[in-house]
């Protein structure tokens, strides 16, 4: 089985995504027609998605939802460790003043 890798071209990655979606649909014994009806996506759009032709997130997201795969996006796009809100809070904290030591010449 081919694994996702940074060495694959964009076209190869697109093809792999589409092949996996189709394989999961078939393994779950869902027809394209059923998937189209349950997702609200046109049957032609489902075919385009599975065939690796042009598709958009407006097609992909409902398909992933119907196939119970949306939670897999958390692995693909994990939440960043620091949110924008927390970054703003960090920036709002005034910087600490640094202690300046006098040199020996100044002391004496």
The pair of structure tokens assigned to 70 is: 């949306």
Domain boundaries, the chain: 10-80
In this prediction, residue 73 carries a pLDDT of 82
Which pLDDT band, with edges at 50, 70 and 90, does 4 fall under?
Answer: confident
**Is residue 77 pLDDT above 80, yes or no?**
no
User: Using CB atoms within 10 A of its CB, is residue 55 exposed (0-12), middle (13-18) or buried (19+)?
Assistant: buried
Mean of pLDDT over the chain: 84
Query: For the chain, how long is the longest CA-to-CA vector?
Result: 90
Do 71 and 99 meet the contact criterion of CB atoms below 8 Å apart? no
> pLDDT digit string (tens) for 12-49?
888 888 999 999 999 999 999 999 999 999 999 999 99
Rounded distance between C-alpha atoms, residue 65 and residue 37, angstroms: 13
Level-2 CATH architecture, domain 10-80: Orthogonal Bundle (1.10)
């Amino acid at each position: 089985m081919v694994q996702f890798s940074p060495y694959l071209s964009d076209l190869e990655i697109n093809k792999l995504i589409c092949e996996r979606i189709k394989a999961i649909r078939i393994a779950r014994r869902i027809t394209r027609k059923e998937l189209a009806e349950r997702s609200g996506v046109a049957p032609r759009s489902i075919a385009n998605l599975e065939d690796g032709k042009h598709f958009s997130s407006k097609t992909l997201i409902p398909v992933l939802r119907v196939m119970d795969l949306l939670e897999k996006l958390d692995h693909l796009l994990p939440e960043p460790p620091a949110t924008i809100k927390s970054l703003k809070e960090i920036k709002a904290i005034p910087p600490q003043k640094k202690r300046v030591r006098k040199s020996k010449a100044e002391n004496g």
